[in-house]
Amino acid sequence: MILKEAAREFSKAIHSHQLLLLVLFFIQLAFIILMVLVNVKYQTALAENIQNIIQPLETANYDENSIKAGMPFLSDIARLAVNYQEMLKNIQKLVFYQLAVFFTLGLLCWLLTHLLFGKEQVLKLWPQLVLRSIIFIVPTLLIDYLIVNTALRQAAAGGTYTSLYAAVGVSAATWYFMVVCLALPILPLKESIVKAFSVGVAKIHYTLGALLINAAVIGVLVYLVSLSVNWPFWSMVLAAAALVAAFVVARVFFVAVVREICS
């Protein structure tokens, strides 16, 4: 029943606000382009930093007796330290610019999506979306920073990166509850956080189901875009446009489901 009513509201929103959907399309396009540019630039730099850290560690002196005899553990420890510091700076820049794009264009997409379902009070909803995001993102960043920093120190001492899986798990859980919270209509801040967890857990078969449907559609289109590099240029443009539109429609569908659960 919930999905049936959500589908009805979804269809109504799509057909009644085509101009707003077009605006959403171009904002989503700008969001994706900026995110891709930020990730390509700083992840490439991070890959180079990590390689420059791993190479000296692979040829390091792990012989306890030779170390006691005066042979250094690393022949160029200064270079390792420089790359480690550069890596931390690149991680900080990557996170900062991703958040900058999200808190501007990303949240604007969420705001306009809510407007598809009625005349929301923009001046109330916009700061709410910002605060909801901060409440989920800031603690997660601190936890992930501690996990990643610990993992890197363990790796530098000859350990493994397995603790990084904890950071991935924390980030995934945070993202899930945050998007549920962002899909909620105007509510007092505390109530919206509580509601996000109650809906996200008690109605997970609806919320996670909607997200999985969205992910499947977007995944297929991402695959088509990857194939389209070998197709005529106009085909590649159409595939890319379909992918951008899929992100917009997926968000509208998810908001429709969450709003219907809360109605």
Task: Give the pLDDT mean for 232-240.
Answer: 88
Measured CA distances, 263 to 5, 36, 89, 161 (Å):
10, 36, 45, 44
Least confident window among 24-38, 56-70, 158-172, 249-263:
56-70
Give start and end residues of each alpha helix (H) in the chain: 2-16, 18-58, 64-68, 77-101, 107-115, 122-156, 164-182, 189-202, 204-227, 233-262
Long-range pairs of 212-221 with CB within 8 A, sequence gap ≥ 24: 213/253, 214/246, 214/250, 214/253, 214/254, 217/246, 217/250, 218/243, 218/246, 218/247, 218/250, 221/246
**30-66 per-position pLDDT tens digit:** 999 999 999 999 989 888 887 776 666 655 555 555 5
The pLDDT score that the predictor gives to residue 3 is 75
Q: Both tokens of residue 41? A: 């630039």
Which two structure tokens, joined as six digits, stand for 108? 């604007």
Query: What residues does each domain of the chain span?
Result: 2-262
Residue 19 phi, psi dihedral angles, 5° rounding: -65, -40
For the whole model, what pTM was predicted? 0.84
